[in-house]
A and B are shown apart, each in its own frame.
Chain A
Amino acid sequence: DAMVIQNPRYQVTQFGKPVTLSCSQTLNHNVMYWYQQKSSQAPKLLFHYYDKDFNNEADTPDNFQSRRPNTSFCFLDIRSPGLGDAAMYLCATSRGVGMTGWLNTEAFFGQGTRLTVV
C-alpha cells in the first residue's frame, strides 16, 4: 500500500510558468520534507515542516515555496521555473519526536515527481 504518494509522477512545465507538485501521506507523520535530486546527485533538502512549522534551508532559492494545509498534504510551488530547476523532487515523511523533531525513525519517501522545464 502506498504510504507517501506524489502527483504527478512526471510534470512538464514551461520556462517561467508556475508549477505545483503535490505530496500526500497516509502515515499520519508530523514531519514532511521536500528534496530536490538532480541526475546522479544526492538528494538536497529544500525545506521541511514539523507539524505546521515551516523550516527553510538557508540555500533554498526564494523561487521555491511550500504549503501544508493539513497533516496529510504538502505542496511544493515553483513560482518561476528555470531550466536549472529540472530535477526529481522527492517528498518524505517521518515521525519526528522530541522538542527538536529529531528523526529517530526512518524517513518514508514517495516515488518522486520528475520535473522537466521546456
Chain B
Amino acid sequence: AQTVTQSQPEMSVQEAETVTLSCTYDTSENNYYLFWYKQPPSRQMILVIRQEAYKQQNATENRFSVNFQKAAKSFSLKISDSQLGDTAMYFCATEASGSRLTFGEGTQLTVNP
C-alpha cells in the first residue's frame, strides 16, 4: 500500500517569488514514480513534473523543480518566478508497479499579484 501526505492545505505566494510545496510518502516498493499534478480552477488535471525513484538527480521542468529525498521519503516541489497562472490545486502522487496512482490531499496555491 502507498500513502501520500501533503501537510499544507493552502499556501500563497507573491508573483515572481519562489514557493515550495511539501510532500511525504510511504511505500514498500523499491521502484516507483513520483508526480506533481496541477489542477487549475477549470479542473483539468495536468502533469507538472515526474521523478523516477531510482534516479538520484532531481527532476527539473523550466520553473518547476523537485527536491527528492528518498531516504526521508520526501518529494517537495519548488516553483520559481511564480506566475498568476500557477494558481491551482497541486497534488503529489506516487505509483509503483502493479499499483495505480495514489494522490495526496492537495495543496491549494494562490499566486497574488
Contact = CB atoms under 8 A, between A and B. Distances in A.
Interface of A: 33, 40-43, 45, 48, 88, 90, 92, 98, 100, 102-104, 106-107, 109-112
Contacts of A107: 45, 47, 101
B98 A111 contact: no
Contacts of A45: 100-101
Give the bracket for the number of chain B residues in contact with chain A.
Answer: 20 to 34
B98 A42 contact: no
Nearest to A90: B45
Contacts of A88: 43
Contact of B98 (A41, A102, A109, A110): A102
Contacts, number: 47
A6 to B, nearest CB: 9
24 contacts: A40-B106, A41-B105, A42-B91, A42-B103, A42-B106, A43-B45, A43-B91, A45-B100, A48-B100, A88-B43, A92-B45, A98-B97, A100-B98, A102-B96, A103-B33, A103-B100, A103-B101, A106-B50, A107-B45, A107-B47, A107-B101, A111-B42, A111-B43, A111-B44
Interface of B: 4, 33, 35, 42-47, 50, 91, 95-98, 100-101, 103-106
Nearest to A103: B95
- 10 closest A-B pairs by beta carbon, nearest first, are A109-B45, A42-B103, A106-B47, A100-B98, A111-B44, A102-B97, A112-B43, A42-B105, A45-B100, A103-B95
A92 B97 CA distance: 18
B57 to A, nearest CB: 17
Contact of A43 (B42, B44, B103): B103
Nearest to B48: A106
Contact of B44 (A33, A104, A109): A109
A31 to B, nearest CB: 9
Instruction: Determine which residue in B33, B42, B98, B101 has the highest number of CB atoms from chain A within 10 A of its CB, and name it.
Output: B101
